[in-house]
Amino acid sequence: MSRAARPWLIGLLAWAAVIFTLSSFPNPPGPRVTEPRAVLAHISFYAVLGYLAVRWLAAWRGSAGMGIAAAAWLLAVAYGISDEVHQAFVPNRHASAFDVLADAAGAALGVALGARHAARRVPRISRTAAPPGPAPNHPAR
């Protein structure tokens, strides 16, 4: 794995751990499932997950094409499904297809933003190159 991909992978795994931890609470803090704030929470959490997933895959593979974006979205949605299965085993929680839809929507937003950022190429200046500016004036001999 490339050095550029490691920080994205670490961030992705850490964020997945945050989601897992929050979904492990029998009585989660915050809004209930039917409230719009709960939907926004799912969208927000999975937008971050999708963003991190596409940035990791793009850095690892060296491109940010549609295939990378699709793989990142599928990864985030699969994690959302696994999270809902996990919640089915947590007391006072249940699995919800609606939550998976909110997760998928958030992942799509995050992947779109992350793919756009990953596609931007900042020109790199070589350390051995002369600094930008006018060419030196050398008299002809």
Per-residue pLDDT tens over the stretch 49-104:
999 999 999 999 877 789 999 999 999 999 999 999 999 999 888 888 999 999 99
More confident residue, 34 or 69: 69
The C-alpha atoms of residue 139 and residue 78 are separated, in whole angstroms, by 67
Helix axes 36-61, 66-88, angle to 10 degrees: 130
Please state the rounded mean pLDDT for residues 33-37: 73
Q: What is the mean pLDDT of the chain?
A: 84
pLDDT of residue 127: 52
pLDDT of residue 122: 35
More confident residue, 84 or 122: 84
SS (H, E, C) the chain: CCCCCHHHHHHHHHHHHHHHHHCCCCCCCCCCCCCHHHHHHHHHHHHHHHHHHHHHHHHHHCCCCHHHHHHHHHHHHHHHHHHHHHHHCCCCCCCCHHHHHHHHHHHHHHHHHHHHHHHCCCCCCCCCCCCCCCCCCCCCC
More confident residue, 139 or 110: 110
| Through-space distance between the first and last CA atoms of the chain, rounded to whole angstroms | 52
More confident residue, 122 or 127: 127
Q: How many residues does the chain have?
A: 141
Evaluate if residue 38 carries a pLDDT over 80.
Answer: yes
Q: What percent of the chain has pLDDT over 70?
A: 79
Read off the pTM: 0.78
pLDDT of residue 46: 97
